[in-house]
Structure 1
């Protein structure tokens, strides 16, 4: 298969220095990205996931040329991002998380025509590309309204339009549905699938595991600066078939109870989340033998007066794969 993006032996180390009286008395090396390699093939949606502090953002910054690697390289459409940045980045359209990358005092149309001109389009080409992108994103009716009056979902569509206006073959979408309402998020996911069907290559980061499962052909999980898993969503879920899951809803819980449950033999991880709608805490317990562990769990909950509202055995999801591999939820 042809590669659209090649990441090879990529490293990024930071040096922290402790000074006293203008002299360095201690120097430590922090390995944010520690020798990772992966390929993204043309025409696929590739998910890149990791908990906070895992090295994901640092990697994204090196792929987009915002940060130089300590060693290793990134190539986009065979062009080295560090050595031949301008040529490489012509092939990459980006939407970065939390980046207010469009002008709110301009209309959607004016924004896209402006960015088209930055990519070297003349006036006629800029108008043609803008019309095409507005149609693709279903923004034609709102095109001449100031962006500041747009909903969050529409603003995100304009940001995506900025990435599309370059007609780059590779798109980097960094948490594109973050903060969107369910309907806006669904619309944006459908647009991403349409882009894939048009032959675009998409590198996607997200904090929504169901989104990654729905959109991605393959997923890489980074933790501690290293790639700890890389496969299709289906194969990742199969990889923890030996790990079983119990979900228990209780009216109250505390760290001491969770700690006691974690000490039970054959339990791997315990995650607790509060569901405000159900007004209950949900314990997600990864284990390797439900028959032996269920009674000790019930005993601990009963001793601590945690009333059980519901208990069920479930099939592993992609979120469960992530928890099994990293010991934490993707949103942590």
Structure 2
């Protein structure tokens, strides 16, 4: 039996606009998403903003009803066995929502323990264990309003574990957290899996997904586009190299000229203040190809203020960008791609 199952999930909603002549339209947030997560796996759900990740998680969490398809937690249908499902899951959405700032961490956990109907005989021991797990022992009597973002994220995780759930949903748990706190949170998440929990994680940090996840699903426009291990997803980019160039003032016409070159698979731009980092993914055929592409990029941008230009191996992020921008025509045989 799978810990998490999504079978052809759909979710649409109606929206309207305009004042005098109101127009109505139907928006598809999730369009036929299917995947399974076995017990004890850390599954990553990746995708750009608006791709349908949070909607999918809310359906699995019983917070939204699907308009089509089915979802199950340990075999329990999320629409027909809502109460039982909620006892088996924990949802950590992070940020400033979901905690009471004027209460201490200890009082927050006591309050939520009552909501989760945690046995009063075990509440105290359970809360002490969780405070130790998330590294808040000694700070538990301080008001949450004085906590850093990283400390709040730790408290969110403790809150989500109060009722000892089998399945935990972590929605961008390290977003906006400083590097040291984020590293500690990743170690905590890995420890949850080692202790037998099933975790579904969403994140925008590719290095985090590669470090933590056993398998990854990439969702765009409400559809699952790729599914596999981090290594399998990186094989989307196994026959190419990446040329990375730092430049100032490149325009769309110059980028189109790069895209038109034979062998160029895709071109993206990362804006870092005034600096632009151009990433050119290139198909390779022969040992001389990488240097040819580097020379081509350097010459194409020579009239601009140009910084470093280097060739590197593709990363999971490069493969991910290729998937979500539609640059991938096919997937390796070991990776299941759904459309």
Query: After TM superposition, is the score higher than 0.5?
Result: yes
CA distance in 2, matches of 1:142, 1:16: 45
The structure-2 alpha-carbon separation of the partners of 1:70 and 1:309, relative to structure 1 and needing over 3 Å to count, comes to same
- Counterparts of residues 297-316 of structure 1 (less than 5 Å): 297-302=297-302, 305-316=303-314
Q: CA RMSD in A?
A: 2.2
Give the structure 2 partner of residue 326 of structure 1.
324
Partner secondary structure for residue 282 of structure 1: strand
Give the structure 2 partner of residue 224 of structure 1.
221
Partner secondary structure for residue 132 of structure 2: helix
CA distance in 1, matches of 2:119, 2:57: 31
Give the structure 1 partner of residue 202 of structure 2.
205
Segments of 4+ moved more than 6 angstroms = 18-22
Give the structure 2 partner of residue 173 of structure 1.
170
User: How many angstroms does 1:122 deviate by?
Assistant: 4.0
Instruction: Tell me if 1:13 matches 2:8.
Output: no
Which one of the candidate residues 128, 142, 146 is aligned to 1:149? 146
* Structure 1: gaps spanning 5 or more residues: none
Which one of the candidate residues 285, 288, 294 is aligned to 2:283? 288
The structure-2 alpha-carbon separation of the partners of 1:275 and 1:21, relative to structure 1 and needing over 3 Å to count, comes to closer
User: How many angstroms does 1:285 deviate by?
Assistant: 0.5
User: How many angstroms does 1:178 deviate by?
Assistant: 0.6
Partner secondary structure for residue 51 of structure 1: coil
CA deviation digits over 1:286-316, x for unaligned, max 9? 11144554444333212xx213321211111
Instruction: Tell me if 1:3 matches 2:2.
Output: yes
When normalised by structure 1's length, the TM-score is: 0.90
- Counterparts of residues 115-154 of structure 1 (less than 5 Å): 115-154=112-151
Which one of the candidate residues 102, 105, 109 is aligned to 1:105? 102
When normalised by structure 2's length, the TM-score is: 0.89
CA distance in 1, matches of 2:196, 2:294: 49
The structure-2 alpha-carbon separation of the partners of 1:156 and 1:21, relative to structure 1 and needing over 3 Å to count, comes to closer
CA distance in 2, matches of 1:142, 1:21: 55
Partner secondary structure for residue 301 of structure 2: helix
Q: Contact 2:41 / 2:198 at 8 angstroms: preserved in 1?
A: yes
Which one of the candidate residues 33, 53, 58 is aligned to 1:56? 53
* Structure 2: gaps spanning 5 or more residues: 327-339
CA distance in 1, matches of 2:240, 2:89: 39
